[in-house]
Structure 1
Amino acid sequence: MNDRKVAVGYARQSLGRPDKSAGSVRAQLAASRAEAMARGYRYEREYVDEAVSAYRPGSVRPEFERVLADLRLGHADAVVVNYLSRLSRQDEGAVWSLAGELHGLGVTVIS
């Protein structure tokens, strides 16, 4: 049985690229995977919202909602993002509120 804790990665790129590449998303996820593994986590899943803003209030980020639902259900012990701005570009209070909720669930946010 594998006793290592589980980490998931979340990446977001707010602007679509004309060539349809997701280079920065791939780079974010590669860095997240490497960081999780370096910290001893089992990296199991990735969530990506591409061409979706985290700045505009009311923006719908389906994969962000999915990762939050999975974390709330206890499916992972940590979420890895390259920068906290991947989670939210709203005011500092929104970021701390989210971080506080995840901490209360026992989820580590790794950035």
Structure 2
Amino acid sequence: MRIDLQCDGVKATPGLHDYVSRRMSGAIGRFRDHIQWARVKVADVDGDGADKRCVVQLRLRNLPDVVFAIKQLDVRAAVDAAAERVSRVLAQRLRRQQKPGRGASAPVAALPA
């Protein structure tokens, strides 16, 4: 699966592309059949290089998109935290999808008149 990486205020080096691709592929690989596309955006939050944000957006098949942001001091730390979170979120969403609807009651048999 191709993971689109966008950089804003962060140098888009080949090493960063490889790192993001490896971390995110590892995190979402087992869910690949449920994902239409993935986008990761890394950005320098305040322009002084101190804080970095990693925003992950996943378009899922038959489920709402997954979108969240992680803020850390370092780009790789933000990507690592985002990879861990995306794996948990996907597992949770797909587990919910497989369960019968919440609050659904069992069918009631008709009683004789």
Q: TM exceeds 0.5?
A: no
**TM tier relative to shorter chain:** 0.3 to 0.5
Per chain length, whose mean CA-contact separation is higher, i.e. which structure has more relative contact order (CA < 8 Å, sep 6+)? 1
Q: So what's the TM-score if we normalise by structure 1?
A: 0.33
Structure with the largest fraction of strand = 2
Q: So what's the TM-score if we normalise by structure 2?
A: 0.32
Structure showing greater Rg: 2
